Every structure is written in structure tokens, then in C-alpha cells.
Amino acid sequence: MKTILVPGGAGYIGSHTVLDLIKKGFNPIIVDDFSNSNKKVITILEDLSGTKISFYELDVKNKEGLRKIFSENKIDAVINFAGFKAVGESVEKPLMYYENNLFGMITLLEMMKEFNVKNIVFSSSATVYGISDKVPFVETDPMGEVTNPYGRTKVIIENILMDLAKSDKTWNIIALRYFNPLGAHESGRIGEDPNGIPNNLSPYITQVAVGKLEKLHIFGNDYNTTDGTCIRDFIHVNDLAAGHSAALNYLFNNKNLGFEAINLGSEKGYSVLEILHNFEKAVGKEIPYIIDARRAGDIAVCYADASKAKKLLNWEAKYTIEDMCRDSWNWQKKNPNGFKN
Ligand code: WQD
């Protein structure tokens, strides 16, 4: 059985991936400092999987702590979810983002090198395509002009990983470029639990629906799209999770891969208003909104070409937009305050 170190495994995408890894016969070890996640998640994951899960409470920038984990366990691969991800916060606190996301990744890579663990999957983002109007986004497109420090950490890390792969051919590295994650585990016991007022569309909508926020502010309806609101590629978090297990299988079955960037998206674009209306169906009532000014840095249309994931990983998105809205709502209504009860 392959042992997979999962920094950030208690977070939104990490926790769903841990469940998928167990289902697919991997042995995950979670490393999390719970700075943006909750300790309860570990027990819930054990409950949902019926398995005891090993975990270490540690900041991945702690080199000595990581060294201990690598010496105590025979690790076959790493999936790194440990990173800050709030776009607005990254604009206000760029040093905090560069320090955490870059040092965290570099420390992990140093330890992997020391222990000769050369298989890694990294959480990247469609944000690396930057401001571009050429859709769908394909991996052969150049990385673009990114408008915030969060996105820039993703671009910088992808570049670090490419340099590393060039310097030593025994590395096997996959950067998964996520489009817009939505949904939650069908149990409604784990899901997205943002700190404070959400930046992202879906937790904002579900918090309006549950009565915590008054109304959705739609950032612009004068884009060149069917209804004037922006279009995004939404992907169920369970599909994303399955993409990681598929990426690991690919790493283990192909030696000396070097670096590969792979999109994980549904290839379908839905407008902000369409998402809102799908949520209204799931919730069974109208969700109030107003049209506001455009948000700086938003592009009009973003969706994936996911043919590389299909070809290399034999992966494709299975969940529909109805499934995603139903599952996000199920999580929110069962946990109006997220993990903080
Ligand atoms: C989607 C659409 C908004 C909130 C970002 C990051 C990306 C990834 C996911 C995160 C846009 C509109 C939103 C609201 C709105 N990383 N919107 N009112 O910007 O596509 O992607 O989040 O961890 O890297 O860049 O996602 O959910 O913020 O916005 O009208 O209150 O919804 O303008 O068109 P985005 P989003």
C-alpha cells in the first residue's frame, strides 16, 4: 500500500481527497497546522471512512518537524494542499502569502529530496492563465499576467517545480490546475468553511440562503456574455478529489515524468446568474441579490479544456451543476456556522 503525505489534508479540497485516497487503497498521512481548518475534520474523516487516520499537527515550514515525519514513515508521494488561498487577503498581506506558500513548498521539497521521495502532486489553479480571453484554457497556453499575490504564488511554485524537474530527471511532478471548486461530501459533514465573509461565489450564496448574509452582490452584469455576468467552470470537489488519486496512479505507473501541468475542470461554463438560479432550485426559495460594480481582476469567461486529464489520467468530471449546488447547500444547511458550533 502506498503512503501519501497530505499537507493541508484537513482543508476543503484536502479532506475530500483524503477520503478518495482511502477509497482507492492509498494510506494518507495528514499534516496540518489547522490555521485555516478544524481539528474536528480528522475525527469526521475517520468516521466517514471507517479508518484510523494518522495525522501530525505541524506547520510545513517547520523543517525539523517534517524531517521527523519523513524518518518515522516510509512515504511514497506527497500531495501539497497547504497554502493560503484568499485572493483579497493576499493583496493586503503579500509577504504573509509569499512566506507561507513559497517557504512551505520549498521546505517540503527539500525534505522530499533528502529522503529521496520524488513524487509530488501540487494544488495549482486556473488563475495561472491570468487575464486572457482565449477560452477554453489549455495547458499549452502560456501562464499569464496574474493580478494578485495569491495567484502569483501558484505561478512561482509551478516555475520552481519545472526548474526542479529539469535539474534532476528522477522527479515526477504534477501540478493540478483547479477551476472553480463547488459542492461537498454527500454526508454534509465536511465542506467549505471560509473564515469571515466569503470571497468566493458559492459560500457567499449559501450563506445568504441560510440567513447569515443579507444578499449576494453580483460583481458586474455588463460583461460580453449571454446574461452579462461572468462565466466560470465549476467542478465538484469529489471530482477534484478523484483527480488526485488518478494523478498519483499516473506518477506511480510512469517513471521519470518530469513536470506536467494538468487542468481539472468540467469544460462547461455557467454564468454567475445561472449558478444563483441553480442554488435557488436546490434551496427551494429565491435568493436575494443586487448588481454591483465589477470586481478588479475578474475575467469575463473562464473554462477548461480537460482533454489532457482524460488522456493521461483517465479522469473526467462526473457531477452536474445540480449535484454541486445540492451538495454545497446540504453542507451549509447542516452546518450554518461551518465547523465552529
Ligand atoms: C466567481 C465569479 C465573481 C463573489 C478565485 C481564484 C481562483 C480559485 C477560486 C481559490 C466571479 C463572481 C463572486 C461574490 C460575485 N482560488 N462573484 N459575487 O474569481 O473565478 O476564482 O477563486 O481558492 O484561483 O481566482 O472565483 O468564486 O471568487 O468568483 O459576483 O460575492 O463570481 O465576480 O465572476 P474566481 P470566485
Q: Which three cell numbers stand for residue 162?
A: 519545472
Comparing C-alpha atoms, which of 16, 13, 6, 14 is closest to residue 54? Answer: 6
Calculate how far, in angstroms, residue 54's C-alpha sits from the geometric centre of ligand 1: 33
Per-chain mean pLDDT for the chain: 97
pLDDT exceeds cutoff 80 at 30: yes
Q: Note whether residue 164 is domain-resident.
A: yes
How confident is residue 255, by pLDDT bands cut at 50, 70 and 90? Answer: confident
Our count of domains for the chain comes to 1
Residue range 234-249: average pLDDT? 98
**Is residue 280 helix, strand or coil?**
helix
| Structural domain includes residue 92 | yes
Residue tagged active-site, from 150, 204, 270, 303:
150
List the residue whose alpha carbon is closest to atom 25 of ligand 1. 127
- Is residue 102 lining ligand 1, measured as CB closer than 6 Å? no
327 in a structural domain: no
Task: Output helix, strand, coil percentages for the chain, rounded to the nearest 5.
Answer: 40, 20, 40
Question: Active site includes 150?
Answer: yes
Does 140 map to a domain?
yes
User: Measured between alpha carbons, how far is residue 31 from residues 57, 60, 334 in Å?
Assistant: 6, 8, 27
Beta-strand runs (E) in 15-53: 27-32
**For 302-310, what is the mean pLDDT?**
98
Residue 164 belongs to domain with CATH number: 3.40.50.720
- 280: pLDDT strictly greater than 80: yes
Instruction: Name the residue of 219, 277, 301 whose CB sits within 8 Å of the most ligand 1 atoms, as the mutation to test its pocket.
Output: 219
Task: Find the domain containing 138 and state its range.
Answer: 3-185+234-266+306-317
Q: Say if ligand 1 is within 6 A of residue 295 CB.
A: yes
Q: Tell me, yes or no, whether 218 lies in a domain.
A: no
Share of the chain above pLDDT 90, in %: 97
Cis peptide before 136 (omega within 30 of 0): yes
End-to-end CA distance of the chain: 36
Asked if the structure places residue 210 within a domain, the reply is no
Task: Report CA(130)–ligand 1 centroid distance (Å).
Answer: 13
* Interval between CA 296 and ligand 1 midpoint (Å): 11
pLDDT at 34 over 80: yes
Whether residue 134 lies inside any domain: the answer is: yes
